[in-house]
Amino acid sequence: MYPQFCQFAKAAAQRVAVATGNPALSKARVPIEPPTSALVMSAGYAAGNVTPPMIPNVTANVLTRSPKGVNAPDATEVAKDTTTPFGLSILVEQGSCDPERYKVSGNSVGNSNTINTINTIITMSNCTIIPVPALQDNYMYLIIDNETQQAAAIDPVDVDAIQAAALTANATITTILTTHNHWDHSGGNLKLIRSTPTIDRVYGGVGDDVPGCTHEVTDGSTFSIGTKTNVSVLFTPCHTQGHVCYYVDNAHVFTGDTLFVSGAGNFNTGTPKQMTEAFDKILKLPDSTNVWVGHEYTAKNCAFACYCEPNNKEMKERLEWAKSRGSIHVGGRGTIPTTIGKEKACNPFARIDVLSVMEFCGPCVDVDDERAERMRLVR
- C-alpha to C-alpha distance for 237 and 208, rounded to whole angstroms: 9
Q: Please confirm, yes or no, whether 295 is among the known catalytic residues.
A: yes
Question: How far apart, in whole angstroms, are the C-alpha atoms of residue 378 and residue 262?
Answer: 12
Q: Which residues pair with 145 in a beta bridge?
A: 127
Catalytic residue among 74, 155, 257, 329: 257
From 74, 145, 208, 239, the catalytic residue: 239
Cα Rg of the chain, angstroms: 21
Catalytic residue among 74, 182, 208, 249: 182
Contacts of residue 2, Cβ cutoff 8 Å, sequence gap at least 6:
34, 124
Segment 139-167, tens digit of pLDDT: 999 999 999 999 999 999 999 999 999 99
Angle between helices 298-308 and 313-325 (to 10 degrees): 160
pLDDT given for residue 195 in this prediction? 96
Contact call for residues 305 and 299 (beta carbons, < 8 A)? no
- pLDDT in the model for residue 254: 98
Q: Check if 185 is active-site.
A: yes
Sheet containing 114-115, strands listed edge to edge, beginning at the edge strand earlier in sequence: 49-50, 45-46, 114-115
Q: What is the pLDDT of residue 57?
A: 26
Q: Which residue out of 243, 252, 295, 329 is catalytically annotated?
A: 295
Please say if 368 is a catalytic residue. no
On whether the CB atoms of residues 234 and 253 are closer than 8 A, the answer is yes
Reported as a single tens digit per residue, the pLDDT across 359-374 is: 999 998 878 899 999 9
pLDDT one digit per residue (tens) for the chain, 379 residues: 334 434 434 444 444 444 445 554 444 443 333 333 333 333 222 222 222 232 222 222 222 222 333 222 332 222 222 222 222 232 222 222 333 322 222 232 233 323 343 444 454 478 999 999 999 999 999 999 999 999 999 999 999 999 999 999 999 999 999 999 999 999 999 999 999 999 999 999 999 999 999 999 999 999 999 999 999 999 999 999 999 999 999 999 999 999 999 999 999 999 999 999 999 999 999 999 999 999 999 999 999 999 999 999 999 999 999 999 999 999 899 999 999 999 999 999 999 999 999 999 999 887 889 999 999 999 8
Asked if 215 is an active-site residue, the reply is no
One of 184, 208, 252, 329 is an active-site residue; which one? 184
Catalytic annotation present for 180: yes
- Among candidate residues 74, 145, 158, 180, the one labeled active-site is 180
Contact 318, 346 (CB under 8 A): yes
329 part of the active site: no
- Residue 364: what pLDDT? 87
Pick the catalytic residue: 185, 243, 252, 329? Answer: 185
Query: Exposed, middle or buried: residue 369 (CB in 10 Å: 0-12, 13-18, 19+)?
Result: middle
pLDDT attached to residue 269: 93
What does the buried/exposed string (b/e) look like for 142-157 if buried means 16 or more CB atoms within 10 Å of the residue's CB? bbbbbeeebbbbbbbb
Distance CA 325, CA 345 (A): 19
CA distances from 207 to 17, 213, 216, 243 (A): 55, 11, 8, 9
Show the CA angle centred on residue 229, arms to residues 225 and 231, nearest 5°.
75
Angle at 65 between CA 64 and CA 68, to 5 degrees: 145
Note the pLDDT of residue 372.
Answer: 95
Query: Three-state SS string across the chain, please?
Result: CHHHHHHHHHHHHHHHHHHHCCHHHHCCCCCCCCCCCEEEECCCEECCEECCCEECCCCEEEECCCCCCCCCCCCCCCCCCEECCCCCEEEECCCCCCHHHCCCCCCCCCCCCEECCCEEEECCCCEEEEEEEECCCEEEEEEEECCCCEEEEECCCCHHHHHHHHHHCCCEEEEEECCCCCHHHHCCHHHHHHHCCCCCEEEEECCCCCCCCCEEECCCCEEEECCCEEEEEEECCCCCCCCEEEEECCCEEEEECCEECCEECCCCCCCHHHHHHHHHHHHCCCCCCEEEECECCHHHHHHHHHHHCCCCHHHHHHHHHHHHHCCHHHCCCCCCCEEHHHHHHHCHHHCCCCHHHHHHHCCCCCCCCHHHHHHHHHC
